[in-house]
Copies of this chain bind each other. A is one copy, B any other.
């Protein structure tokens, strides 16, 4: 409880610290963001030069921006980057001109349906400049006036920045957690992912033992994921048993996840179980609804066993990709709830084993001290779960599959399975899932 309260407050503070920074695919905003995270977890920060190939893609020029504004010719400021970094189209080329309304309008982006929202717009792969503003403000512009437009940005050779952290465990088999750090001042998409994964890494480090190695990646979306994959693909394909990409995990809406194309990798099985047993309801999306970095981690010829974990999936909440996705949308409380889901995923993986009955016929629980002497509330349920674990532990199913069948969460069954192993009723056949560990090979 205490830890919860501390986490919640610390997450809120981290969100406030990171929110104002102007992040993009590249540039100092990304670097600053990663250095802030580095104060909490020992991520390693990497720089990849402009022009570096990553499969079909190339690392773009680095973009930085100091200031930007639009003014009337008599100096009245229409909008200012200093107020909200969404006012400038990401990757805008530098400009300092006085232009007519007609010309200006070609470079303005608004949302007619959400007249008080500044849209989030980028132009990564076509060199251009532009501004984003509230439609209500746009409608009040004097159509006969000229305007001074200034963007003090640089777009030049530089590097793309990402960070990772590998926390070793007993096995070289890895659990992968990814998220992206390229979105400017927006909360749910995407400060929530980096914050939750930072706290998750902190927690993983604090565990007294780890059966698996844990890898955390904080990179710009798409090109960052591709760069990371291009550097680590063989290793990841050989070692990752399950991966979880976090995106939009800070609002208070129902949980959801985007399945892998296979829909039945170890990661799919784990998150489906954890969300189903969590008791809060959840929405499973098919890979057809993809849109975040699962696009790269699950891409053909990559095919990692990874799912994307969300609350409101990107694109489904009204504040998405606008200035309305601010700190009011997210909270430390809800980021902490999302953290707990990923912690349960970790525990489910750590605790998963294939179990086998040692005895023939039902065991006599009483003589082994497993049958309650007195009938307290909850004890009958415990005996039911004990007996159901025994009934389905035939040496081929893993605890996860048994738990799915008997309708009990792994965070209960793993403790009871331990008791049964200690009592000589069950034996552990192997650590991990019941079949080969990767991708489609883990179909149940």
Known A295-B362, A406-B288: A301·B261 in contact at CB below 8 Å: no
Within 8 A of B (CB), among A34-67: 54-57
Selected from B56, B287, B357, the residue in CB contact (under 8 A) with A361 is B56
Are A363 and B406 in contact, with the CB atoms below 8 A? no
Q: Among the listed stretches A71-79, A153-161, A171-179, A387-395, which one makes contact with chain B, having 4 or more residues with CB under 8 Å of it?
A: A387-395
Are B361 and A55 in contact, with the CB atoms below 8 A? yes
A226 within 8 A of B: yes
Are A357 and B295 in contact, with the CB atoms below 8 A? no
- Number of A interface residues in the complex (CB < 8 A): 42
Selected from B225, B230, B299, B357, the residue in CB contact (under 8 A) with A391 is B299
Selected from B287, B299, B303, B391, the residue in CB contact (under 8 A) with A290 is B391
Are A296 and B361 in contact, with the CB atoms below 8 A? yes
- Set of chain B residues within 8 Å of A280, measured between Cβ atoms: none
A375 within 8 A of B: no
Known A290-B391, A391-B287, A391-B290: A364·B300 in contact at CB below 8 Å: no
Known A288-B406, A391-B290: A360·B261 in contact at CB below 8 Å: no
Are A361 and B302 in contact, with the CB atoms below 8 A? yes
Known A261-B391, A288-B388, A290-B391: A301·B359 in contact at CB below 8 Å: yes
- Set of chain B residues within 8 Å of A230, measured between Cβ atoms: 360-361
A366 within 8 A of B: yes
Are B364 and A56 in contact, with the CB atoms below 8 A? yes
A167 within 8 A of B: no
Are A303 and B56 in contact, with the CB atoms below 8 A? no
* Apart from A299-B361, A300-B357: 6 A-B pairs, beta carbons within 8 A: A56-B359, A288-B388, A300-B395, A301-B359, A301-B360, A302-B361
